[in-house]
Amino acid sequence: MSSSESVPTPLSGYVGFDTLTKQIENRLLRRGFQFNVMVVGQTGLGKSSLINTLFAANLLQSKGRMDPSDEVRQTTSITTTSHSIVERNVRLNLNLIDTPGYGDLINNEHCWEPIVKYIKDQYSIYLRKELTAVRERHIPDTRVHAVLFFIDPSGHSLRSTDIQVLKKLGDIANVIPVIAKADALTLGEREVFKKRIRAALHSNGIRTYPFDHDNNDDEDRELNNLVQSILPFAVVTAERTIELDGRPVRARRVGSGLINVENKSHCEFLQLRDFMLRTNLHDLIETTSSTFYESFRSKQLLALKESSAKQQAQQTQSQPAYANANANKPSAQAA
């Protein structure tokens, strides 16, 4: 029997190590948690509104073009804003990465490159910090933990640019697809649209979050399957609250009606929020590190190893001729 399986030795008094979990909790609470979310989608699909609705705060300003004559913005203008929000002692340090105007250009070829580069750059920054001789105790984490991908509700299914972008993003980050402005669809249309999108994701081999990995147990797998069967979340946003039956609710006026975004039968905003923030927030952060960053890290280190091995081989290839030439020469001493 190993010592870890043995019966605990009885204590004759209070030692105090039962505070260990509290000590960890206090330290984590002091430091706060870092969560980095990126939004990707066409201009005006409600990216800023969804972030503001998700975190119940005015975090991003709408930057939609006011006039058709305004200059078309390009994906290259990626902007990151940092916020700190607190809920019952828990501080969440949020980095919101906005990629305005994705896909609204006439030529969308390679429009995903700056987005992919941004994500990889964050892995690279982290790796460099990790590899320095004197490492920081706590490496600042700017790695993108979740990418909310906005799908236009007016299309037939995913557009070819969407497919290309999703393929690239799904390989390097946790991608959560959402149908934007779902109030534009009836419930029936919504289901048909969702099915078409799921089929397109599947047939193109696009990996969306959540996915099964080695550390998953049966319960995780069941939950993942359930979420995958709902994806993409059909969301409606509302940045303001409206009084309904004497209580404030987040709702959007649509025509003569009202959509309560926090009502599960109206849209899937609540399902998205619960999934992202209440059940899977830690997993999103963890998966980014253990799956995507790890794969980036091992590829980079392997490439580094290969290039230094190549360099060494080149050196030894050129060395023998030189060494042999020297070996045949009588040394000054011997002479």
Q: Evaluate whether 127 touches 297 at the Cβ level (below 8 Å).
A: yes
Per rule CB under 6 A, is residue 64 in the interface with ligand GTP?
A: yes
Per rule CB under 6 A, is residue 157 in the interface with ligand GTP?
A: no
Q: Are strands 146-151 and 90-99 parallel, antiparallel or unpaired?
A: unpaired
What is the distance between the alpha carbons of residues 177 and 151, in angstroms, rounded to a whole number?
Answer: 7
Site string for Mg ion, 315-334 (x = CB under 5 A): --------------------
CB closer to ligand GTP out of 164 and 237 = 237
Could you tell me which residues come within 8 angstroms of residue 259 by beta carbon, excluding any fewer than 6 positions away? Answer: 183, 236, 238, 251, 252, 253, 266, 267
Among 32, 33, 43, 211, binds ligand GTP (CB under 6 A): 43
Among 36, 48, 53, 224, binds Mg ion (CB under 5 A): 48
CB closer to Mg ion out of 77 and 298 = 77
Secondary element (H or E) of residue 146: strand 146-151
CB closer to Mg ion out of 63 and 167 = 63
- Minimum distance, C-beta of residue 48 to ligand GTP, in the bound complex (Å): 3
What is the distance between the alpha carbons of residues 54 and 239, in angstroms, rounded to a whole number?
Answer: 9
CB closer to ligand GTP out of 122 and 237 = 237
Distances (CA, A) of 96 to 78, 141, 172: 10, 13, 18
Question: Which of ligand GTP, Mg ion, none binds 183 (CB below 5-8 Å, type-dependent)?
Answer: ligand GTP
**DSSP string covering 252-276:** EEETTEEEETT-TTT-SHHHHHIII
Q: Which stretch binds Mg ion (CB under 5 A): 44-52, 147-155, 158-166, 326-334?
A: 44-52
Site string for ligand GTP, 171-210 (x = CB under 6 A): ----------x-x---------------------------
Per rule CB under 6 A, is residue 46 in the interface with ligand GTP?
A: yes
Residues in the chain: 335
- The single-letter code of the amino acid at 146 is A
- The single-letter code of the amino acid at 16 is G
Per rule CB under 6 A, is residue 101 in the interface with ligand GTP?
A: yes
Residues engaged in binding ligand GTP (CB under 6 A): 41, 43-49, 62-64, 100-101, 181, 183, 236-237, 252
